[in-house]
Amino acid sequence: MTITDGPDFASSSLPRHLLRGAVGLGALIGAFALLPLYGPVTLALAPIGLVALRGCPMCWAIGLAQTLSRGRLQRECTDGRCELKPASR
């Protein structure tokens, strides 16, 4: 039995996920790094970063792991014990 329920933070491809990370982290860093130069208006970048990261940097990191393992691993549960195994091809 394969269990696939639960939150899914993965992207459809690795390049797309990395692009989302670059945009999200760049916007978050820019929001605070540019604050002394341009004032509070730069804080408008923070929501853009959070949307690109789908909520938080940790959510993005979890999605990166899911994107990398998609199709390579599957969780199998037998008698109340779950294991990660290579996916059958």
In tens, the pLDDT along 7-26 reads 677 888 889 999 999 999 99
Q: Is the pTM of this model over 0.75?
A: no
In a domain, 1, yes or no: no
How many structural domains is the chain composed of? 1
pLDDT of residue 2: 45
Decide if 3 is inside a domain. no
Structural domain contains residue 4: no
Q: Looking at the domain assignment, is residue 60 inside a domain?
A: yes
| pLDDT at 66 (0 to 100) | 86
Tell me: the pLDDT tens digits for 70-89? 777 777 888 889 887 887 76
Give the dihedral sign, CA 6/85/56/22: negative
Task: Give the range of the structural domain holding residue 26, as residue numbers without chain letter.
Answer: 14-86
Find the mean pLDDT for residues 25-49: 95
Q: Is residue 28 situated within a structural domain?
A: yes
Q: How many CB atoms lie within 10 A of CB 18?
A: 14
